[in-house]
Amino acid sequence: MSQEPEPELLCSARGCNADARYGLLWNNPRLHTEGRRKVWLACADHREHLSGFLSARSFLRDVVDVDELDESHG
- 73 is a domain residue: no
0.75 surpassed by pTM: yes
The greatest distance separating any two alpha carbons of the chain, rounded to the nearest whole angstrom, comes to: 47
CA distance 23 to 46: 11
State yes or no: pLDDT of 2 exceeds 80. no
Local confidence band at 62 (pLDDT 50, 70, 90 cut-offs): very high
Identify whether the C-beta of residue 25 lies closer than 8 Å to the C-beta of residue 37: yes
Closest CA to 39 of 16, 18, 64: 64
Per-residue pLDDT tens digits for 6-26? 668 999 999 999 999 999 999
Domains in the chain: how many in total?
Answer: 1
Closest of 58, 25, 62 to residue 40, by C-alpha: 25
For 26, the domain range is 22-68
The answer to whether residue 59 is domain-embedded is yes
Q: Is residue 30 pLDDT above 80, yes or no?
A: yes
Q: Is residue 1 domain-resident?
A: no
Res 64: pLDDT: 97
3-state secondary structure of 22: strand
